[in-house]
Structure 1
Amino acid sequence: MLAAADGIDLERLQFGALPWRRAEAGLEIMLVSSRDTKRWIIPKGWPMAGRSGGAAAAIEALEEAGLLGVMSDEPIGHFHYVKRLTRRSDCCRVVVFALRVVRQRAHWPEKHERVTQWFSAGEAIANVSDPELAQLIESFARGFAS
């Protein structure tokens, strides 16, 4: 588990899930819309007391997209983005875990606040607005194809 001793400012650390599945055409990635700007992103959120990064990412995937599945034990990478808050903006580091999606619930807490959509890996790369997230998806897709 990451901690302040690892040189990471925990106030700006988040954990995210990269939801994926195998389809006939190959790898598909699920993206979710952000609540305010409606940009395509992955489920992510702040650390949770008593929970590992992967467990926190799994909870975010369930709350934001209704996703259940198998989470990777280790992170697959990280990316940075600027979180715009009411009075300031913070640079956040998102440590990402791969989530092999088994199913999507019919109802989940943020269903009426977000849109979810499956994309081919190439479409996901083209649709996310964070360049580092696009690179992470591209790297994951290359590993998937090997």
Structure 2
Amino acid sequence: MNDHDPQTAKLGSDKPRTQFGALCWRPVDHGVEILLVTSRDTGRWVIPKGWPIKDLGPDGSAAREAWEEAGVTGTLTDAPLGAFSYDKGIGPQRVPMPCVVMVYGLRVDQVADRFPERKQRRREWFSPTAAAERVAEPELQALLAGFTGA
């Protein structure tokens, strides 16, 4: 649904591509919980993230991904909380494309039952420690494990 087509990017390039993601969280009695979603292709736990969306800017792109992938809306941080890198598999042969994800905090105000990717993903709330244990990327693990709210 966004205007950047990763399929047209040069596959096998060592130049990282930038994505924008949302660390979606909510306050609870014992601290905070973090929302993770499953990826469409591998089913592993991730934060909502994606390519830049024309006319939305970095924070707007992160917010749109949170809506499309997790069905949540809320209040974004003004600046990124951090970043992490990973290799995105592109195409049928899963050619690795290096990506850097700028992560914005999103305090969740509303959780919808109906959202664009609801039939393609699962979503679940975790403690920061449990969320960190479920994601694969070490830099994202560190960001999640130490998160106390934005």
TM-score by length of 1: 0.87
Matched, 1:77 2:85: no
Higher helix proportion (structure 1 or 2): 1
How many residue pairs get matched? 134
Identity %: 45
> Helix, strand or coil for the counterpart of 2:147?
helix
Tell me the alpha carbon deviations over residues 73-124 of structure 1, each in whole angstroms, 9 at most, x when there is no partner: 1001000011001142101000000000001111000000000000011100
Counterpart code for 1:127: R
Q: 2:58 maps to which residue? A: 53
Counterpart code for 2:145: E
Contact 1:76 1:140 in 2 (8 A): no
TM-score by length of 2: 0.85
Instruction: Report deviation, 1:131.
Output: 1.0
Q: 1:5 maps to which residue? A: none
Instruction: Report deviation, 1:27.
Output: 1.0
Matched, 1:24 2:29: yes
CA-based RMSD: 1.5
Q: 1:13 maps to which residue? A: 18
Cα separation, 2, equivalents of 1:138 and 1:73 = 21
> Helix, strand or coil for the counterpart of 2:85?
strand
Cα separation, 1, equivalents of 2:139 and 2:28 = 25
Instruction: Report deviation, 1:140.
Output: 2.6
Instruction: Report deviation, 1:130.
Output: 1.1
Cα separation, 2, equivalents of 1:49 and 1:36 = 24
Counterpart code for 1:128: V
2:132 to 103, 106, 125: 125
Q: Provide runs of 4+ in structure 1 moved above 2 Å.
A: 138-141
For structure 2, the 5+ residue unaligned runs are 1-14
For structure 1, the 5+ residue unaligned runs are 1-8
Within 5 Å, give how 1:108-123 maps onto structure 2: 108-123=115-130
